[in-house]
Chain A
Amino acid sequence: MIFNSIDYIVFFSLFSLVFFLLKPKFRWILLLTSSYFFYMCWKWEFIFLIIFSTVVDYFCGIKMSQKSIQKQKRPYLLISLFSNLGLLFFFKYFNFFLDSVSLVSDITYEPLNIILPMGISFYTFQTMAYSIDAYKGKIQPETHIGKFALYVSFFPQLVAGPIERANKLLPQFQLNNNSFKFDNFIIGSTQILFGLYKKVVLADLIAIYVESIYGNYELYNGVTPLFATYLFAIQIYCDFSGYSDIAIGSARILGYNLMENFRTPYFSKSITEFWRRWHISLSSWLRDYLYINLGGNRKGNIFTYRNLIITMLLGGLWHGASWNFIIWGGLHGLFLALERIFNYSSKIAKKPIILRFISGLGSFHLVCFAWVFFRSETLAKSIGILTRIVDFQNFFNLKIKDINIFTSIIFNILVFLTLERVVKKLIVKKKINALETSFIHAVLILLIILFGVNEGSQFIYFQF
């Protein structure tokens, strides 16, 4: 079951109805069983991985709370980290590891037929954060195994985040006092509809266009692959932030607050700012649990740059088992380190608006440059596309394969830019006007009906 399906709308409507009819103290049971059901709709066998991760981290958390000395807690932290990273390594990186080994040695191997469990990168990172926080004494480990299991598997954010912190989400499950609130319903449903619009209209329409260019990049030069790369930047933003919007909106209707995951990242004036506004739950996770533990900026400049690059390299690897993702992460690490050397991010914030605009444009192009590696399946293809983009002999030869899709994309990007302001105003300022809200909802539903792509495609981040 995916968010952009009628199945989810039916599931969530029925679930919400029963949720609010049920006595608050029993709601966690409904939430947990529904979350497991939601996940099992994909492949039921993989629920055992979530249960395994839950049991191990629950046990380790409890054990750590019983020890007062860090040294005594450490074995349990290691058990938690090894089991989560072990799962991740086996299911996500094992074949890639063997492939890389065979590249530098004479070893030949037969790749294992491993299916990547949906959302494994998200829930393992969430549970690892819990164990590290418990080890550091930042949180009191959860004693109720059911509610802890719910923290691991809460269906709105189970498969693609936001990666929630225990100190923010667990207390919400403990409170048990959610009642139906009209404002929550309006804000939540606005986010769901806007997220659906971003996914099934913008991201899926653009995907058709981008695939037609990236799939046959040998045939295009200059502005055509360049434009496709700009569009891919919009596609991945709409795809992933669309998912986050649906997740946050669904949780909001139920009375739970999930963290904001995107804050108009392409309007950033620097790469440093971009990472404060793109996939916030992951970037803050990497900062808190990796960058700071590597030493952060406490050990001098050289170590700071090294730590930034390592963090981003691993951040790239988190996205997928491929050298292209590592290069993507490495490029971002390099950009961040360079900005750090020149203290660029804070300097540009004080510059006049025109310079900030130019800087924003430059940052967007650096991000797009890195997206080429993210989007291409192989390094050869990335280089091929970049070579084609800088073919200045035939640069201004924009080829549009399907004018209907192209004009639909342009029209919907304009609609999106207009609607985003209106929707943000409604969500952030919580200005609920029944007439205005119902009109926005009607417009969004109509746009989805008229322009939505019907095939029920997966979200890009499900593969991570």
Chain B
Amino acid sequence: MKKGIKYLLLLVASFFILERTSFLILDLLHQKSMYGESGGKINNLVKNHNKTEILFVGDSRNAFHVNPKYINNKCYNLSHNGMSIVFQTGLIDQLLTNEQLEIDTLCLHVTFKELNQIPKSQKLDIQFLKYYYNSNEWIKSEINKYLPKGKIKFFFPSFCWNGNVMSIISNGLKFKRQNDSNNGYSPKLPTINDSINVIYQQNQLNIITIDSSKNKLLENQMTNQNFKKYIYSVSQLNQIYISHIDSLCKKNKIVFICYTSPKYNRPYISDSSKFKVINYFKFKNILFLDYSNLYHQNSDFRNINIWNDVYHMNDSGATIFSKNLRKELNNY
């Protein structure tokens, strides 16, 4: 019994010391971090770009397609690779509610597919904002909704750094990556190993049979075969997220724009396929800029050399796309 109590007291004491110390060190490093997607980009925006004219928010396609330099010098690209609209909504809520960020226009990158339905696994993307769990009520409620036993896990404050430790350390210690810029844009520089080249080379030369179902799907879609015509809409859950962003923007007198970007050699999305989405944005009085068919409409985007893979353009593509976007944005 005596041994047990001694063990228990020592466990609690040593855990408390270790947990507090690691929490404080990581918190300090996180605050110092100005690069990367583990909060660094957000810190950079909040601390160095508090008065931003246009803020671009979205996933990797926003990250690689929009170079703020070509739009105006008061723009910031706040993208987080692979993050769904759940994450983006939480991020915007944090920026506008807690950080009191002053912006004129908010551009959110969306896709028809994602608007139609968010995959179940992507709802958990909100947990990548877990360092705001205790400071942001919206993020907290969403995490509790989707993260199993979230409330129990957050009993330990260090859990808010879960999964980000190494990036917080490297970013906090200012290990700046080659491609990091001050306006949030991370260019994808073209290389011969870009998957667009690899995939096309393999298809043309027929060297390897691509046997994974994912790539079979990709192959089919690239050759426009077996691709069913689909009528896209905005799912109920997405309507909630978009309405939340819209109300935050209205409250802060921010122009809210949603936009899509092109893909390489993917089927043309006809007006009849997307009319429900367009009508939704019309109804909500949200500006919707649709570039999903740019590949078919503008020959510049059919040049394989501006693409990194089917979904992402490289730096050259970003330059062309950003200039196009600037022209359009100048109209509003």
Contacts and interface: CB of A to CB of B under 8 A. Distances in A.
Contact of B208 (A5, A384, A443): A384
B94 to A, nearest CB: 20
Contacts of A216: 195, 212, 214-215
B148 A441 contact: no
Contacts of A156: none
Contact of B11 (A384, A441, A449): A441
B10 A215 contact: no
Given A438-B7, A456-B148, A449 B214 contact: no
B122 interface: no
Interface residues of A, number: 38
B24 interface: no
Contacts of A360: none
A434 B166 contact: no
A397 B192 CA distance: 13
A219 B14 contact: no
A54 B139 CA distance: 49
Contacts of A449: 19, 153, 156, 158-159, 162
B63 to A, nearest CB: 14
A69 interface: no
A186 interface: yes
B153 A454 contact: yes
Contacts of A438: 7-8, 10-11, 13-14
Nearest to A183: B3
A450 B147 contact: no
A421 to B, nearest CB: 20
B117 interface: no
B167 interface: yes
A8 to B, nearest CB: 11
A446 interface: yes
Interface stretch (A57-65, A169-177, A403-411): A403-411
Interface string A362-406: 000000000000000010110010000000000001010001100
B204 to A, nearest CB: 14
A439 B14 contact: yes
A219 B198 contact: yes
B131 interface: no
A288 interface: no
A451 B163 contact: yes
A407 B170 contact: yes
A443 B211 contact: no
A434 B6 contact: yes
A439 B161 CA distance: 21
Contacts of A407: 166, 170
A450 B148 contact: no
Contacts of A455: 124
A79 interface: no
B162 A446 contact: no
Contacts of B202: 218
B15 A442 contact: yes
B10 A381 contact: no
Contacts of B193: 219, 397, 399
A434 B212 contact: no
A215 B215 CA distance: 10
B163 to A, nearest CB: 7
A272 to B, nearest CB: 35
B164 A404 contact: yes
B212 A215 contact: yes
Nearest to B194: A219
B166 A404 contact: yes
A453 interface: yes
A41 interface: no
B214 A215 contact: yes
A434 B170 CA distance: 35
A452 interface: yes
Nearest to A436: B10
Interface in B1-27: 3-4, 6-8, 10-11, 13-15, 18-19, 22
Given A216-B214, A397-B193, A456-B148, 11 more contacts: A6-B153, A182-B4, A216-B195, A218-B198, A218-B199, A378-B211, A441-B11, A450-B161, A451-B163, A452-B162, A454-B127
Interface of B: 3-4, 6-8, 10-11, 13-15, 18-19, 22, 38, 124, 127, 147-149, 152-153, 156, 158-159, 161-167, 170, 193, 195, 198-199, 202, 208-212, 214-215
21 contacts: A6-B149, A186-B7, A215-B212, A216-B212, A218-B198, A218-B215, A219-B195, A380-B209, A380-B211, A384-B208, A403-B167, A404-B38, A404-B166, A407-B170, A408-B165, A439-B14, A442-B15, A442-B19, A445-B15, A450-B22, A454-B163
Interface of A: 5-6, 182, 185-186, 215-216, 218-219, 378, 380-381, 384, 397, 399, 403-404, 407-408, 411, 434-435, 437-439, 441-443, 445-446, 449-456
Question: Nearest 10 pairs between A and B by C-beta?
Answer: A438-B10, A442-B15, A438-B11, A404-B167, A442-B14, A407-B166, A6-B149, A434-B7, A408-B166, A434-B6
